[in-house]
């Protein structure tokens, strides 16, 4: 007898066999027992969760002539007819290859005839969303008022493509993705029935790789079974399915922690040598980072993560010098890599260089510490700081290249995301800092410090003296921003924190006012004058003409730049 694939051999034969869809099975059973059966159903959900299988079970159950209305007997004429593979009363149509109006017209024609053996004539249309618009329209009238002996069962993975006119005429059932526990339990049951010895870790691999699809899980199981026989171990399953062992990822995270770029390259080479593709490699590393973070936070138990106690303990103890923020940044880089890998002409180089950037990541923080040391004159006497300062020039080119190629999603949350300035640069940088503060959304605070300037003191002094200065018409304390700053100590603390983040050193902040200078007063006066008034002040000839002819401004017209240039060229030619 020909071999039957596991997914077909162990396909559920009744509602009681359905795994993970108990809510649907119970609803259909109640409808059958209560005689409240609808004439059209829509089964929707991801692949391999039992939509078509459930449709077949429903068809067998409705047409079975046995004594139990909820469990097909398998012995009556209808059950045997369906089991034969070419039933007379159940029509299964693949809408992906029968999309036209003519195909649906054939269905409508068959609807008119009563069932031959069973009680109902049942039409199962798989992947119904593939039908054309014309085919859907042709089906509407029959779907709304079918004969009493007809039941439609539609199945689809993309319910959003089914017209609302169809959805309003059917009962919709949403099939859930199966959990890891449900798939593992079903596989364990199959192993017991087939006499296969499989470890729990091996079954966990199938259940996780299935990604909620029982059919996919059984397909992977079948593939591994052909390789391993009746003795199935985790190592053999990983080998046949191309799943990277977790030891590779412990090696990679250790290399990242130790800034060991060679180690990162070595891990990629080891993965390639044992036949691991880059997509499952990155998927596995993503799962590794997730488990690492969850283990650190004690967010889930080992059972919830489907790992052993020993592995859980190993997660908690590895990469201690990497903070949770570092793991989140590495995860963001991994997600970006997964998004760009499919478009790369050299995927191995892309993977290797990204892992290398991960290994360099926390050295950006070291560079900040070196800059902080430069800004602190007294600490420059320390030998360790001197060594850092001498390394900065050698590191800066590589660091700028890494920073430019990686857009930090957590910029601003720690020192690594804040732009640093020296004591000599902070005054000139203050306008751009004010602009960034204005974009943060705290309009009262940004208005309170708007228009201020920074005046710095002795750069050798610690804490570094800085004066936040408000300019006014007179040197007094009537300025609104000045009053806001003096009345709200939290504003002073906030400005202090912002400046210390930029300078990476302690500061002594004072708030003061001063009168406008002559040039500032002239700029303010000019800002309030019209263009005509400005021209009168700048052009003595225009002022004399106004006095001689008692002229009055009626209107002004702004010339376009192109016209103004053309006019100037014509005047030059005439001259």
pLDDT on residue 152: 94
**Which residue's entry shows tokens 């195909």?**
103
Residue 390 and residue 487 in one domain: no
Beta-carbon contacts of 329 under 8 Å, excluding residues fewer than 6 positions away, are 361, 408, 409, 410
Instruction: Give the model's confidence band at 521: pLDDT under 50 very low, under 70 low, under 90 confident, else very high.
Output: low
Domain assignment present for 200: yes
pLDDT of 398 above 70: no
Per DSSP, which regions of 336-487 are E strands? 453-456, 464-472
Do both 56 and 161 map to the same domain?
yes
More confident residue, 83 or 417: 83
Domain boundary among 216, 241, 266: 241
Is 209 found in the same domain as 89? no
Q: Indicate the length of the chain as a whole number.
A: 575
| pLDDT tens track for 415-448 | 345 677 888 888 888 988 888 887 776 778 888 8
Residues 54 and 145 grouped into a single domain: yes
User: Per the structure, how many domains does the chain have?
Assistant: 6
Question: Is 329 inside a domain boundary?
Answer: yes
375 and 297 co-located in one domain = no
Examine residue 1 and state whether it is found in any structural domain, yes or no. Answer: no
Residue where a domain stops, chosen among 174, 196, 214: 174
The Cα–Cα gap between 42 and 294 comes to: 39
Domain presence at residue 314: yes
For residue 278, pLDDT beyond 80: yes
Q: What are phi and psi of 111, to 5 degrees?
A: -60, -30
Write out the residue range of the structural domain in which residue 562 sits: 529-574
Integer Cα distance of 402 and 136 in angstroms? 55
The CATH number linked to 237 is 1.10.8.60
Asked if 285 contacts 313 with a C-beta cutoff of 8 angstroms, the reply is: no
Q: Whole-angstrom Cα distance, residue 144 to residue 544?
A: 91
Same domain for 378 and 266:
no
Whether 120 is in a domain gets the answer yes
Which spans in 35-171 are helix H? 51-63, 77-83, 101-111, 133-144, 164-167
For the residues 175-198, what does the mean pLDDT come to? 90
Residue 491 lies in a domain: yes
Give pLDDT, residue 297: 86
The pair of three-digit structure tokens given for residue 480, joined into one six-digit string:
């609104």
- Let me know whether 302 and 449 are in one domain: no
Q: What percent of the chain has pLDDT over 70?
A: 83
- Mean pLDDT, the chain, rounded, equals 81
- Lookup: tokens for 240: 């046949």
Q: Do 170 and 51 sit in the same domain of this protein? A: yes
Q: Is the pLDDT of residue 153 over 90?
A: yes
**Do both 404 and 533 map to the same domain?**
no
Co-location of 44 and 140 in the same domain: yes
């Amino acid at each position: 007898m020909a071999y039957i694939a596991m997914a077909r051999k162990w396909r559920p034969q009744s509602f009681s066999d359905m795994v993970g869809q108990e809510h649907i099975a119970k609803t259909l059973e109640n409808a059958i027992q209560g005689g409240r059966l609808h004439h059209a159903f829509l089964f929707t959900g991801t692949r391999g969760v039992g939509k078509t299988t459930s449709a077949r079970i429903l068809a067998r159950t409705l047409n079975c002539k046995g004594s139990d209305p909820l469990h097909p007997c398998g012995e009556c004429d209808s059950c045997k007819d369906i089991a034969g593979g070419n039933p007379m009363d159940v029509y299964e149509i693949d809408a992906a290859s029968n999309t036209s109006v003519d195909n649906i017209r054939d269905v409508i024609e068959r609807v008119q005839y009563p069932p031959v053996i069973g009680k109902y004539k049942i039409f199962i249309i798989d992947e119904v969303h593939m039908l054309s618009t014309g085919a859907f329209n042709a089906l509407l009238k029959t779907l709304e008022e079918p004969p009493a002996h007809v039941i439609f069962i539609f199945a689809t993975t993309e319910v959003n493509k089914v017209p609302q006119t169809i959805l309003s005429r059917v009962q919709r059932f949403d099939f859930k993705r199966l959990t890891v526990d449900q798939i593992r339990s079903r596989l364990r049951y199959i192993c017991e029935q087939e006499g296969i010895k499989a470890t729990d870790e091996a079954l966990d691999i199938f259940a996780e790789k299935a990604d909620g699809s029982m059919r996919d899980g059984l397909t992977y199981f079948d593939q591994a079974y052909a390789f391993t026989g009746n003795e199935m171990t985790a190592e053999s399953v990983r080998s046949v399915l191309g799943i990277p062992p977790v030891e590779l990822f412990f090696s990679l995270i250790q290399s990242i922690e130790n800034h060991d770029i060679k180690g990162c390259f070595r891990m990629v080479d080891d993965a390639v040598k044992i036949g691991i593709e880059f997509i499952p490699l990155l998927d596995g590393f993503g799962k590794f980072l997730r488990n690492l973070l969850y283990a650190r936070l004690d967010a889930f138990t080992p059972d919830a993560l489907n790992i052993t106690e020993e592995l859980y303990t190993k997660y908690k103890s590895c990469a201690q010098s990497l903070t949770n923020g570092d793991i989140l940044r590495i995860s963001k880089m991994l997600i970006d890599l997964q998004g760009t890998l499919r478009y790369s002409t050299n995927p191995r180089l892309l993977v290797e260089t990204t892992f290398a950037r991960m290994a360099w990541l926390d050295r950006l923080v070291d560079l900040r510490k070196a800059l902080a040391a430069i800004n602190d004159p007294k600490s420059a006497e320390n030998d360790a700081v001197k060594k850092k300062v001498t390394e900065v020039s050698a590191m800066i080119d590589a660091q700028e290249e890494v920073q430019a190629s990686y857009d930090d999603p957590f910029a601003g949350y720690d020192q690594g995301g804040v732009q640093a300035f020296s004591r000599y640069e902070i005054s000139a940088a203050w306008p751009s800092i004010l602009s960034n503060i204005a974009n943060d959304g705290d309009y009262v605070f940004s208005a309170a410090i708007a228009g201020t300037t920074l005046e710095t003191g002795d750069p050798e002094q610690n804490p570094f003296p800085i004066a936040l200065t408000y300019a006014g018409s007179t040197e007094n304390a009537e300025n609104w921003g000045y009053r806001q700053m003096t009345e709200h100590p939290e504003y002073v603390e906030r400005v202090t924190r912002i400046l210390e983040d930029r300078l990476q050193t302690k500061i002594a902040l004072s708030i003061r006012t001063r009168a406008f200078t002559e040039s500032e007063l002239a700029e303010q006066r000019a800002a309030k004058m019209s263009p005509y008034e400005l021209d009168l002040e700048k052009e003595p000839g225009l002022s004399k003409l106004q006095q001689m002819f008692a002229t009055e401004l009626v209107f002004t017209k702004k010339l376009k730049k192109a016209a103004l240039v053309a006019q100037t060229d014509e005047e030059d030619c005439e001259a």
